[in-house]
Structure 1
């Protein structure tokens, strides 16, 4: 089902992930978060941008364990833990944050 962002239509798969990761723009995350009743803060954007950089470097969307470890390495232990990340993305930090970041569903996520 496509989503509308600033008058443009973006194709998504059956789970709501962008069909083409190159279509992503920040408005996509805003629309998706509103659908989830979530207000994006700077902390959310830190993780979304981190994921986009991670994907650019490794060409893979990290599962939650890998994400937690990588965030901890780059942003410190206070942010690199499950409690913090689930607080931001209650539907699953890897799954929900990757969707907002326009990335594919992480491998190993149900």
Structure 2
């Protein structure tokens, strides 16, 4: 199983780079993943989406889809694509340390 090295700690990921245990996540892991996808800084708006994704996953056991993310997170779909250019739901989930949302390729 692949491993990320983040600030001296090992974080287990699957073959697509998603954390296998969401409890290994912290903001340093989030920033490391974001930077590896071309996002140099995680703004408050990024973190609003990431924390929404994490909260929904922890409460419901699944990551929200892009449609529910746009409706319920407080961030419009157009802005989601500006924040997370290559697939907002998938990338926000990866940065948030949760599994890939259903329906994402």
Q: TM-score, normalization: structure 2? A: 0.91
Query: Is 1:59 the counterpart of 2:61 in the alignment?
Result: yes
Query: Is 1:92 the counterpart of 2:87 in the alignment?
Result: yes
1:30 is matched with which residue? 31
Q: How does 1:65-76 map to 2 (within 5 A)?
A: 65-71=67-73, 75=74
User: Runs of 4 or more off by more than 2 Å in structure 1?
Assistant: none
Give 5+ residue unaligned stretches, structure 1: none
Q: Give SS of 1:15's match.
A: coil
Give 5+ residue unaligned stretches, structure 2: none
Q: How does 1:7-46 map to 2 (within 5 A)?
A: 7-38=8-39, 39-46=41-48
Equivalent residues, number: 103
Moved more, 61-70 or 86-95: 61-70
